[in-house]
A = this chain, B = another copy of it.
Amino acid sequence: MSPSHQNPIPAQKENKLPPWLSIYRTLKSEILTDELADDDRLPSEKQLCSRFSVTRMTVRRALDALQREGLVTARKGSGVYVNAKPTCYEINSGRRFIENVATHGYSVETKTLSVSRVSARADIAEKLGIKRGTRLVAIKRIRIIGGKPAFLNFKWMPAKRFPNFNKIYKINQSVSQVYGEHGIEEYHRVETRVSGGRATDDEARHLQLEVGAPLIRSQSLNSDSDGNRIEFSQGSWPLDSVEFIFPQD
The interface of chain A, by Cβ under 8 A from chain B, is: 21, 24, 57, 64-70, 88, 93, 188-198, 201, 210-216, 237, 239-249
Question: Contact: A65 with B195, CB < 8 Å?
Answer: no
What is the distance, in angstroms, from A54's C-beta to the closest C-beta of chain B? 16
Beyond A68-B210, A190-B249, A248-B191, is A197–B239 a contact (Cβ under 8 Å)? yes
Nearest to A195 among chain B residues (CB) is B243
Q: How far is the CB of A168 from chain B (nearest CB, A)?
A: 26
Contacts of A196 in B (CB 8 A): 196, 214-216, 237, 239-242
Which chain B residues lie closer than 8 Å to A201 at the CB level?
21
Residue of B nearest to A239 (CB): B196
| A5 CB, nearest partner CB in chain B, Å | 15
What number of copies of this chain does the assembly contain?
A: 2
Closest 5 CB pairs of A and B: A68-B212, A214-B214, A196-B239, A195-B243, A69-B198
> Is there an interface contact between A188 and B249, defined as CB atoms closer than 8 Å?
yes
Given known contacts A24-B211, A197-B240, A214-B239, A192 and B68 CB-to-CB distance under 8 angstroms: no
**Cβ contacts A to B, 19 pairs, < 8 Å:** A64-B212, A65-B210, A65-B211, A66-B212, A68-B68, A68-B210, A70-B198, A93-B246, A190-B247, A191-B245, A191-B246, A192-B248, A193-B243, A193-B245, A194-B243, A196-B241, A198-B239, A246-B246, A246-B248
Shortest CB-to-CB span from A85 to chain B, Å, is 13
Name 6 extra pairs, CB < 8 A, besides A188-B248, A195-B243, A198-B240: A69-B212, A193-B244, A194-B216, A195-B244, A197-B239, A197-B240
* CA–CA, A241 and B196, complex, Å: 8
CA distance A195 to B214 in the complex (A): 12
